[in-house]
Amino acid sequence: MRRRPSVSTAAVAGAAALVAGLVQSADAGEPKDAGAAGAPTAITTISSGWTIPWGTSWLPDGSTALVTERNSFKVFKVTPAGARRQVGTVPNSQTTGGEGGLMGLAVDPDWASNHYVYFMHTSSDGNRIARMTYDGSTLKDYKALLQGIKKNKYHNGGRLAFGPDGYLYATTGDAQNGADEQDKNSLNGKILRLTKDGRPAQGNPFNNYVFSLGHRNPQGIAFDAQGRLWEAELGQSSKDELNLIKAGKNYGWPTCEGNCSVAGMTNPRKTWGVAEASPSGVAIVDGAVYMAALRGERLWQIPINADNENVGTAKAYYVGAYGRLRAVTKVPGANQLWLSTTNADGNGGEPAGSDKIFRVTIS
């Protein structure tokens, strides 16, 4: 767990007034041939009064987003203008006194016909992936799809996303158990790939749920325009990572943190010192990965190249202006992001109801 100092409302407001854009770069010496990308040009508060908004997923038509609150287990519908209404809760959920609870969600790409929404949450028997139906008004019909993912106070992973192949991808933390990340038969310390009914996806590299292994606490996943999967991961004490995920690859933990030369391990495409990042959600807009940082209290932009695996110079926005940044999600049909804070999570030093959702314009 990483803690940040308590930030007063006045300090946050003062810092926000000073923020106009890029203030920082990371990792000297990285390739400079990544594709040109836009940049954040405006940020606006669209919704306030939240308590640990953890996951965001849009309906395919862009008319509404669904947002989870980690500790209350509530799910809200939020309009593009920021109006919100609770549509239900996810049953069988519990917290861990740390990072567990109601975490990520993903709206089915075929939502218009099946009304399915998927959640990852902590329960009495561990972390689960579950499915519910949402008819545009009410959330109901809970069904557990995958159980037996170990939980702990920290390192629960929790992000969900649909890939262009139609399968559901899920990040799982190591649950502070150093034996599971390298075990191909364990569900922990992995990126999982499963069907909409909760079965292992066809073509998974180990003939089970596991898509990739060797992860410590993966917190963000997003697919680029080429269908490649990018992942943000919290390190332990030296390096946080941005990884390009490929089927069957081993991303090193606990043998490696950051880059290493151990045979069979896949190095990250970018690393940061842990004070600069502690990453959570990621999204991809206009040729760049945007990575929300918790302890680092900033939004990182990392240009990516469509023709190769190089990434460009990472730039930091809104450093210290809004506190701990948790979810970052592309707005359908627009070069915009939704960006949420979790300053009420026990590490941010702020009271319940202090979290916000922002709209960030990229141009």
Strand partners, 117: 107, 132
- Sign, Cα dihedral of 70, 75, 80, 84: negative
Can you read off the two tokens belonging to residue 237? Answer: 């004490």
Beta pairing class for 355-362 and 40-50: antiparallel
The conformation of residue 185, written as its DSSP 8-state character, comes to T
Q: Please compute Rg for the chain using Cα positions.
A: 19
Beta pairing class for 160-162 and 325-330: unpaired
Q: Is 121 tagged catalytic? A: no
Annotated catalytic residue within 115, 121, 155, 215: 155
Half-sphere exposure in the Cβ direction for 279 (13 Å, CA)? 34
Residue 25: count other Cβ atoms within 10 Å of its Cβ.
Answer: 14
Alpha-carbon separation of residue 347 from 7, 98, 136, 239, 297 (angstroms)? 10, 10, 34, 20, 12
Closest CA to 128 of 101, 154, 108, 107: 101
Question: Where on the phi/psi map is residue 264: left (φ > 0), alpha (ψ -120 to 50), or beta?
Answer: left
Residue 30: count other Cβ atoms within 10 Å of its Cβ.
Answer: 17
SS3 content of the chain, % helix, strand, coil (to 5): 5, 45, 50
Helix (H) or strand (E) holding 18: helix 9-18
Question: Where on the phi/psi map is residue 153: left (φ > 0), alpha (ψ -120 to 50), or beta?
Answer: alpha
* Bond into 268 cis (ω within 30): no
Residues designated as active site: 155
